[in-house]
């Protein structure tokens, strides 16, 4: 927090105190906030001590983290036996430790996505400023563009939606099962 922000916060607290002087709880809260804002380094040190006192391993695997309902993962989840993040046991404590950090292990959430092939156009447009004509083959589109003259431009139109490979479908199914088991 910057010095200016702290000054603004202290000013706001003074204004609140003027309006709520009759309330003991408000006065106690304001005094505590003023004390913390007055010495920011002491507050940073206090927070640091709290963090150091937290247990190192909150969750034994990704499945337990998902079941906890927590939205903040403050440290990487590693296998409790080998210490690797890609080990299947780091994803689900019921799986066997492979003592490996290799990608694409069965049961691990760390998989390399397959490389997509370039999508191919399914139609071609002849443009004269805006789309003027549409053809299903590039040859027909270029033929029309030649007839229209040098100002006509041929561009690809719609592309096929990417088709999932069998591996991607299997991976999605595994992720769905993992999600359903967690919730």
Rounded mean pLDDT, 157-177: 71
pLDDT band (50, 70, 90) for residue 179: confident
Residue 1 pLDDT > 70: no
Q: How many domains would you assign to the chain?
A: 3
Q: For all residues of the chain together, what is the average pLDDT?
A: 76
Q: Are residues 84 and 104 in the same domain?
A: yes
Alpha carbon of 146 to those of 100, 122, 135, 142, 143: distances in Å? 60, 21, 14, 6, 5
pLDDT, tens only, 49-67? 655 554 545 678 888 888 8
Structural tokens at position 70: 């927590």
At residue 173's C-alpha, the angle toward residues 167 and 175, to 5°, is 105
Cite the DSSP H helix spans in 54-97: 62-68, 88-91
Q: Does the global pTM surpass 0.85?
A: no
pLDDT, tens only, 81-105? 998 999 999 999 999 999 999 988 9
Q: Which domain holds residue 176?
A: 62-116+163-182
Q: Are residues 45 and 83 in the same domain?
A: no
Q: Are residues 168 and 136 in the same domain?
A: no
* Bigger pLDDT: 92 vs 157: 92
Q: Are residues 98 and 71 in the same domain?
A: yes
Q: How far is the C-alpha of 71 from the C-alpha of 51, rounded, in Å?
A: 18
Helix, strand, coil shares, percent, the chain, to 5 = 45, 10, 45
Q: Are residues 77 and 97 in the same domain?
A: yes
């Amino acid at each position: 927090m910057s010095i200016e922000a702290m000054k603004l916060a202290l000013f706001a607290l003074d204004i609140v105190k003027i309006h709520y002087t009759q309330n003991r709880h408000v006065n106690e809260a304001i005094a505590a906030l003023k004390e913390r804002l007055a010495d920011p380094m002491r507050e940073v040190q206090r927070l640091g001590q709290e963090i150091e006192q937290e247990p190192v391993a909150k969750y034994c695997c990704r499945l337990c983290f998902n079941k906890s309902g927590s939205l903040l993962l403050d440290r990487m989840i590693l296998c409790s036996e080998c210490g690797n993040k890609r080990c299947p046991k780091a994803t689900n404590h019921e799986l066997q430790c492979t003592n490996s950090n290799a990608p694409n292990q069965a049961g691990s959430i760390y998989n390399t996505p397959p490389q997509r092939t370039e999508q191919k156009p399914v139609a071609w447009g002849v443009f004269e400023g805006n789309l003027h004509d549409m053809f299903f083959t590039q040859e027909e589109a270029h033929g029309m563009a030649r007839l229209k003259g040098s100002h006509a431009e041929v561009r690809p139109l719609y592309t096929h939606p990417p088709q999932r490979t069998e591996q991607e479908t299997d991976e999605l199914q595994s992720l769905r099962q993992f999600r359903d088991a967690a919730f």
